[in-house]
Copies of this chain bind each other. A is one copy, B any other.
Amino acid sequence: MSEVSYDALRAQAAKRDSEDELSAKRAEFELDDTVYLDGNSLGALPTVVQERVADVISRQWGQLRIRSWEESGWWTAPERIGDRIAPLVGAAPGQIVVGDSTSVNVFKALVAAVRMARDSGEGRDEIVVDATTFPTDGYIAQSAARMTGCTLVPVAPGEVHGVLGPRTAVVLLNHADYRTGRLHDLPALTAAVHDAGALVVWDLCHTAGALPVGLDEHGVDLAVGCTYKYLNGGPGSPAYLYVRADLQARFDSPLPGWNSHAEPFGMRPEFEAADGAVRGRVGTPDILSMLALDAALDVWDGVSIEAVRAKSLALTDFFVECVAAYVPEGRVEVITPAAHEQRGSQVALRCEDAGDVMRRLVEHGVVGDFRAPDVLRFGFTPLYVGFADVERAAGVLARTLGETGTGTGIAG
């Protein structure tokens, strides 16, 4: 809490920013003097989006109109943009389609996985789901279980091993806990699920664009994710679905819309599923949002996800270091794991009056978010957050905590 510690950490921040190979990327985003640590909720705006969407509206829609379905590549956008996301999550081309929300994609993935599991033998009637996951995954898993005659088995990720067995059809896991930022062990959990003869669906909302996922390398079966967090696609931008290449022929979608038909313009009464990732499409793609995402992905040109991960860990380490230096001991509890292999790209702090603290932080120009009942959540997006931001955020947090707190009478 001394001035010395402030000066030393500020100097360290300046030095690290000057050595940061990703620092130039910040200029590709629309940012002000706010310290924006909520990119794990809504990524900042990449500058290129505005002009590209203006062209989509005025020229592609306004002038070419329906011709754009072919001439502007609208029709194939879901798989083309999927192929742009693929390298960020360690997938070869042809396995990802963009479209619908994460919830809808969880439904497709789970139902299709149950059907695949049953192809391989009867008796598989359990859907195991991460009980600590973002709630929508659990709600949708419950519906998928109900509609496929399965039983839902909610467990903490650490307990997955204990419930796997001959009845397990599919396991739905979040790669990182949205609240604590804990990163789960995707390779080991995937292998354990496979050993039990079941399939796994990973939700990558909180990791895609923040760290290497390695879908192909680790033999993941299916995966879903949103694109509005670390991929900066814009509010509610379309989600994506990954179906491993060798499973695609067996992917039997519960939402077989005309866009997943082998011959969509044949307008045939009988459904015949298209080959490949396209089978995961449903209805007409949402072009404005999809092409905003397409533009937003330009910021990844020349960026390696390994460099992003290295910077992410350095940022979160440094934040924890600054918080420890600036904040009185016991005022907050870091609930994000210290071990790198267990940490996503966020730091969560438990704090009794978290709702009030976050409101004041935002007023003081540091934007994170509050997750009920007592979590301050700070996301670190390596493409646009620097070390000086981190030091400043910790300093503002310390001052804010000094102003608030139960018993001070200031809160409210």
Contacts and interface: CB of A to CB of B under 8 A. Distances in A.
Interface of A: 30, 32, 36, 38, 41-42, 44-45, 49-50, 53-54, 57-58, 60-63, 65-69, 74, 100-104, 107, 111, 131, 134-136, 138-140, 142-143, 147-148, 154, 179, 226, 228, 234-239, 253-259, 261, 265-269, 271, 282-290, 292, 362, 367, 369, 371-372
B136 A257 contact: yes
A69 B228 CA distance: 13
A157 B136 CA distance: 38
Q: Among the interface residues A62, A68, A226, which one has the most CB atoms of the partner chain B within 10 A? A: A62
B49 A57 contact: yes
A74 B235 contact: yes
21 contacts: A42-B65, A50-B54, A53-B53, A53-B54, A57-B292, A100-B101, A104-B257, A135-B258, A136-B257, A140-B257, A226-B284, A234-B287, A235-B284, A236-B284, A236-B286, A236-B287, A237-B286, A266-B372, A287-B289, A288-B289, A288-B292
Given A57-B49, A371-B267, A256 B30 contact: no
A36 B367 CA distance: 47
Given A53-B57, A107-B255, A101 B284 contact: yes
Contacts of A57: 45, 49-50, 53, 234, 292
B236 A147 contact: no
Given A65-B367, A283-B103, A269 B135 contact: yes
A231 to B, nearest CB: 14
A306 B276 CA distance: 46
Nearest to A146: B254
Nearest to A267: B135
A58 B45 contact: yes
Contact of A66 (B62, B68, B234, B369): B369
A257 B30 contact: no
Contact of A258 (B50, B103, B254): B103
Contacts of A226: 284
B154 A283 contact: no
Contact of A236 (B44, B67, B285, B369): B285
B101 A283 contact: yes
A177 to B, nearest CB: 12
Contacts of A66: 38, 41-42, 367, 369
Nearest to A283: B101
Given A54-B54, A57-B53, A136 B234 contact: no
Nearest to A136: B258
Given A30-B58, A58-B45, A61-B45, A256 B142 contact: yes
A384 B254 CA distance: 39
Nearest to A52: B57
B254 A143 contact: yes
A7 B269 CA distance: 45
B288 A254 contact: no
A285 B42 CA distance: 13
